[in-house]
Structure 1
Amino acid sequence: MPDSIALNPDGTLHVPDHPIIGCIPGDGTGPDIWNATRPVLETAVDTAYNGNRQITFEELPAGEISFKQTGEWLPLSTLDRIRALRVAIKGPMTTPVGKGMRSLNVAIRQELDLFACIRPARYIRGVPSPCSRPAAIDMVIFRENTEDLYAGIEWPSGSDEAKEIIDLIRKKTGKSLAPDTTGIGIKPISRENTQRLVRKAIQFAVDHQRKSVTLMHKGNIMKFTEGAFLNWGLEVGTTEFADHVILEDRLWKEFNGKPPKGSIVLKDRIADNMFQQVLLRPEDYDVIAAPNLNGDYISDLLAAMVGGLGLAPGANIGTDCAVFEATHGTAPKYAGKDKVNPGSLILSGAMMLDHMEWHEAAELVRDALQQAIAAKQVTYDLARKIPGATEVSCSEFGRQICRLMTP
């Protein structure tokens, strides 16, 4: 019988053979890509474990459909159910720009305290890339998910609240801002949230034999927020992981730039320089830990470098539960046309299987997707860039992956 995933006393997951997983198809093209993704995940599990394991997906209301039916964009019952199930997967959801409700994606991360947004960027052979050496790109971004400017603490220009903050700034700093035309936003970054994010990034590097962790920041300008992110991150690395971590200055002073076997180099890079570094010297970077906004920027850049958001997976992981999601938007003009690339959600599903420690099924998914791309039977976004490719529908791409997984 289907059963919920539980937490063991040590914080690891106890996954039954027939777990219930929450799913939110999403808005726009979300249902299209979910309908292509679901059979891929089910086929992978069935094939990897000879029918002895099976996922039951439980659809949860959120987004436009939920709003039309219930008047709520994100019902509390959905959040409660994700907490109870421990694991969920979701398609993209609508977010108005410059007005209206805040991002539902951000709301889910904050309400469930999914503090680590994890986005791998790894080149898939055969995918068109704007880079000269895309095969050198193999990085994992750990983006802090709960604070920074995404905390949503802001007031519009001309509001009483903005004027009050502007007046306080003038009194405390002597700096004058135009009270009627200046919007105000607050950028909170805390020791606790920084350190749990960096701790998770370094632990990932240890567990997966990665070579370096780079703290990406703009601490030269924002000294008490992003500068603090750097300092607090270095503190975690040099105290909690002293047996594994080596700082760059020591690396060059004592080891002539050649890290001792099994060590992890803890680096730091100013954000604007980081964008150059991943373009010019991608082989020098492995795991990147960043505040919320920087992490958003760098993960999208890396996605473009390896072929675009259509193949970029993402996970939002907290202490108690996790939500895996497509990293792209809803693309409403293609909604219902069975056209868009489901690769992002499919690869996010593979991350979900890894999170459940069903690694055999996860590898089946990734291998079959790579084979499908190599066969040049791909969705329109890839077909228009790959010479000799044949365009297939979203659902057919998913079916092709399923066929490649079955004996």
Structure 2
Amino acid sequence: MTRIAVVSGDGIGQEVIPVAWDIIGSLHPEFDSFEVEVGYARWQKSGVACADDDITALKSADAILFGAITTPPDPCYQSVILRIRQALDLYANLRPVKGDLFDIIIVRENSEGLYSGIEWREKDRACTVRVVSVEGSRRIARAAIRLAGERGCLLTIGNKANVIKSDVLFRDICCHEAAKAGISFEACYIDSLALDLLLHPARYGVIVTTNIFGDILSDVAGYLVGGLGMLPSANIGDRYALFEPVHGSAPDIAGQGIANPVAAIRSGAMLLEHLGYRDDALRIEAALQAVIRRGITTPDLGGTATTISFGEAVKAELGI
């Protein structure tokens, strides 16, 4: 039996994930789902945001549907999503950005870089270590190369090697692996890449970059499709897989019932495709497009639909 861990998390995660899971569960009632409570709300209640038992539970799932987590500026609080990514070795973060004239996947190294978790505070400064390893760079390069090969497109290697020495290592390894694989590739400085991505999105296919650059670049790319509420993502490792919307917990609108669930629903579609249900993933995307074309959207896209009513419209389009 396929087991799915459902993690709503904090803020609007508690609103959009139930909508996404309702669609997935309706398409596949045979799935066995179980909830895992982690995040800031739990930390406030118990002092523990994510326990070892939670990691064990997540590892028992065939896939994880994840919402969003609030990370407060508290030195005692450990980022939940970073801990999960590292514990499950989810080293490849795939962030698709798709429009009528472009189809891009940003492949973000997900386990090291500035999000390595090696940080400390001193009296008059705070320090974060940026870790870029040979193995980490090689395996994310190979993941991106596989995608570029499957899609028959250019691989773009986003870097800042003109300033950051660790990016020289990352760029050189990616270029070496791409040349060895015999695919078309280019290396671009991340700042100029961010601008050109907005100006000429159709020229890009697969973009691979380091952790923080991938995080920022995919958020920037959200401008192309209507905002972060539209962007899904997959966190993939060799054994485990977690799917989550790119957006955060959005505490400013949490509890109002107006959060856009498209990113969460698309993340659910990516989960289904990962499990081998590609046709269902395509059906969900077609239903989303049909509902949006009819003008049924949440306020961030200029509409009046609620989170729940949008989900119901998608279910009706799917006939479930």
TM-score (norm 1): 0.75
Distance 2:44 2:216 in 1: 32
- Unpaired segments of 5 or more residues in structure 1? 4-18, 47-52, 124-134, 159-180, 246-264, 384-388
Secondary structure of the 1:215 match is strand
Among 94, 97, 104, the residue aligned to 1:118: 94
Q: Give the % identical residues.
A: 30
4, 9, 15: which is aligned to 1:32?
15
Q: For 1:34 and 1:149, locate their aligned partners in 2 and report how far apart those are by CA, in whole Å.
A: 28
Match of 1:57 among 29, 33, 42: 33
SS in structure 2 at match of 1:114: coil
Match of 1:219 in 2: 161
Aligned to 1:6: none
Aligned residue number for residue 270 of structure 1: 189
- Quick one: which of 164, 170, 173 aligns to 1:229? 170
The residue that corresponds to 1:375 in the other structure is 294
- Report runs of 4+ in structure 1 exceeding 4 Å deviation: none
The alignment yields a C-alpha RMSD, in angstroms, of 1.7
1:138 paired with 2:103, answer: yes
**Secondary structure of the residue that 1:377 maps to in structure 2?**
coil
SS of residue in 2 equivalent to 1:279? helix
8 Å contact from structure 1 (residues 96, 102) kept in 2 = no
- Structure 2 CA distance, aligned partners of 1:307 and 1:102? 31
What is the CA-CA distance between 1:319 and the residue it aligns to? 0.7
**Structure 1 position 87 matched with structure 2 position 63:** yes
1:327-342 superposed matches below 5 A: 327-342=246-261
**Contact 1:213/1:286 (CA < 8 Å) preserved in 2?**
yes
Counterpart contact for 1:137–1:306, Cα < 8 Å: no
Residues in 2 aligned to 1:332 and 1:276: alpha-carbon distance in whole angstroms: 29
1:7-406 matched pairs, under 5 angstroms:
19-43=2-26, 45-46=27-28, 54-68=30-44, 70-97=46-73, 99-123=75-99, 135-158=100-123, 181-207=124-150, 209-223=151-165, 225-239=166-180, 241-242=181-182, 245=183, 265-383=184-302, 389=303, 391-406=304-319
Contact 1:147 1:187 in 2 (8 A): yes
Q: Measure how far apart 1:69 and its partner are.
A: 5.3
2:69·2:80 contact (CA, 8 Å) conserved in 1? Answer: yes
For 1:210 and 1:346, the matched residues in 2 are separated by 27
Three-state SS of the structure 2 residue aligned to 1:57 is: strand
Deviations along 1:335-381, one digit per CA (max 9) or x if unpaired, are 33221111111111111111111001101111111111001011111
Instruction: Say if 1:68 and 1:201 are closer, same or farther in 2 by CA, change over 3 A.
Output: same
Distance 2:41 2:153 in 1: 44
Distance 1:353 1:294 in 2: 28
Amino acid at match of 2:170: F
Equivalents in 2 of 1:342, 1:286: separation in Å? 26
> Residue 317 of structure 1: CA displacement?
0.6
Which residue identity does 2:135 align to in structure 1? Answer: E
- Give the drift of 1:70: 4.3
Per-residue deviation at 1:284? 1.5
**The residue matched to 2:130 in structure 1 has which SS?**
coil
Q: Is the 8 A contact 2:119 2:127 kept in 1?
A: yes
How many Å apart are 1:282 and its aligned residue? 1.6
Residue 333 of structure 1: SS of its match in structure 2? coil
> 1:192 Cα shift?
0.1
CA distance in 2, matches of 1:303, 1:98: 28
- Whether the aligned pair in 2 keeps the contact of 1:215 and 1:233 (CA below 8 Å) is yes
**2:71 corresponds to which letter in structure 1?**
T
SS of aligned partner of 1:323: strand
Cα distance between partner residues in 2 of 1:304 and 1:396: 24
Alpha-carbon distance, 1:213 to partner: 0.8
Cα 1:279–1:332 change in 2 (3 A) is closer
SS of residue paired to 2:266 = helix
Q: Partners of 1:55 and 1:342 in 2: how far apart?
A: 21
**Structure with bigger gyration radius:** 1
User: Matched residues in 2 for 1:182 and 1:150: separation?
Assistant: 18
